[in-house]
Amino acid sequence: MEATGATVTEAEGQSSALSRWTFALTQRYRHLLDKSVPHVVYRWIAFLGLAFIYFVRVYLIQGFYIVTYAIGIYMLNLLIGFLSPQVDPQMQDFMDGPSLPSRGSDEFRPFVRRLPEFKFWLSVMYAFFIGFVATFFPVFDVPVFWPILLFYWIVLFTVTMRRQIELMIKYRYVPFTFGKRTYGKRSSSTDTTTNLPKD
């Protein structure tokens, strides 16, 4: 009876040690992600490096085109989320119904994305990492004529982006912001007083 209790206690100790270790590892990973948020350029450079490594591997193997196509479709879906507003203007007009205008057409409305930039970057990184790992398993190397997949993806991209651009023009929103607007340096007040005519 005592031996069984000791084994249960020992197993609980091992499982709690494992859970503490995974919790610490998860916390460290989240901390590194949080520290990387303000470094937009470096994050996208890291993405370009990962994408380059993936495409070199696919080129050298001459296979896994279906995995690349799946990554392309997933990236297109993420791009639509990145370029779309959080509140769909078409649905907002439908929900408001016909009424008197309550706001001016020149009222400033900030653009809030459906998919924020950081989540877009993180999802794309996960997609390329999973795709890279998938290239090591021959079960994912489905024989397919890759020019058909490329042509179909280009057509899908063109049609989707055309629709997205039409919505941007119709509802007058621009999904790209390049930071806060800065103006020229103002001259100090002493400079302006010296140039005034004297009585």
| pLDDT digit string, tens, across residues 142-155 | 999 999 999 999 99
Instruction: Let me know if residue 64 belongs to a domain.
Output: yes
What b/e sequence results for 17-39 when a residue is b if at least 16 CB atoms lie within 10 Å of its CB, and e otherwise?
Answer: eeeeeeeeeeeeeeeeeeeeeee
Q: What is the pLDDT of residues 15-35, one digit of tens each?
A: 788 889 999 999 999 999 999
Q: Answer yes or no: is 107 within a domain.
A: no
Query: For residue 171, which of 179, 180, 163 has the smallest C-alpha distance?
Result: 163
Determine, yes or no, domain membership for 60: yes
Residue 24's identity, in one-letter code, is A
Residue 34 lies in a domain: yes
Neighbours of 41 (CB within 10 A): 7
pLDDT for 70-112, tens place per residue?
Answer: 999 999 999 999 888 877 666 665 565 555 555 555 555 666 7
User: pTM value?
Assistant: 0.72
Count structural domains, the chain. 1
Residue 93 covered by a domain: no
Is the model's pLDDT at 134 over the cut of 70? yes
Domain holding 67, by residue range, is 26-86+112-175
